Structure 1
Amino acid sequence: MSVSSRVLLLLLLCVEAAVLAVLETFFLPVRLDGTLLPRLGDIPFPITIAVAVITTPMLVQWAATLSGRVAAAAAPLIVWFFTIFTLGFLEPGGNGQFLLGDWRTLLLIAGGALPGAVAVGAVMARNAAHRPGLYETAGIQ
């Protein structure tokens, strides 16, 4: 695969991360209130948290297959994270209540960022294992 096609695919993964962040944010307040979903007592239905938990590490792993660099593998996670925070600060009213006003928002951020960070750590470990002598070991020398 050529370098230009890898860069294009990495950019598409970053666009996909941004689109997923927007959709996860917009559908986060969905409730079982009879409007969009069946009426079951106005219970919150934050299915987008599960979507973030699954898709963010997948995007990181796909980006890692395109390049051996950790920065390239972390690019979808960084785009997802900054898209979430940009939407949080550009909300109507602009006072940042979206980010700290609800438990679902905090779970969305944690559910996307933590598994994504673990996936980036796995890429770093795989790079260290494939390049012996390049990284210093910790401990007594």
Structure 2
Amino acid sequence: MSTPLTSRQRLLLALLTFDAFLLGLLELFFLPLRLDGIVLPKLGDAPVPVTAVLAVITTPLLVRTTAKVVRPTFSVIPLLVWVLVVLGMGMAGPGGDLVLIQDWRALLLIGGGALPGALALGGGLGTASKVAKGVSGG
């Protein structure tokens, strides 16, 4: 049986979960950015999925940080929150609007956030399992 979380660990878990929530919202809402001269410079009106790149970096970082500072078994929480925010708000956004754009950028965001996050989760859980069983690597 595992020991209960300390108050510091609970606070860190809450902060990392809130961070995953905010990142999911920001990445979703800024996904339609284009080089149209409104927010980004005007360079041919091409779509720029910069938030998908942000998701590739931040989602596994949140998972690894949770595994490190809280516990590996709790590292699924930020990933799950991120996926639920992106899919939930994307399909039924504010006022029932469809926020998740229906093109390749949406697939890039979901795949770019969920896949590296899941790989980080599996790696962290596998390492924790090896340590718990006392198996030496190599």
Question: TM-score, normalized by length of structure 2?
Answer: 0.86
Structure 2 stretches lacking a partner, 5+ long: none
User: 1:90 aligns to what?
Assistant: 92
Whether the 8 Å CA contact 1:28–1:48 is kept in 2: the answer is yes
Deviation, structure 1 residue 93: 7.4
Give yes or no for the alignment of 1:115 onto 2:116.
yes
Alignment map for 1:1-141 (pairs within 5 Å): 3-70=6-73, 72-91=74-93, 94=96, 98=100, 101-132=102-133
Q: Distance in 2 between matches of 1:127 and 1:6?
A: 17
Report the CA distance between 1:90 and its aligned residue: 1.6
Instruction: Show CA shifts across 1:28-74 (max 9, x none).
Output: 0000001111110000011000100000000001100123342x111
Distance in 1 (CA, whole Å) between partners of 2:26 and 2:40 is: 17
* Cα-Cα RMSD: 2.1
Percent of residue pairs bearing the same amino acid type: 46
User: What amino acid is the match of 1:129?
Assistant: K
> How many angstroms does 1:95 deviate by?
7.3
Number of residues of Structure 1 aligned to a counterpart in Structure 2: 131
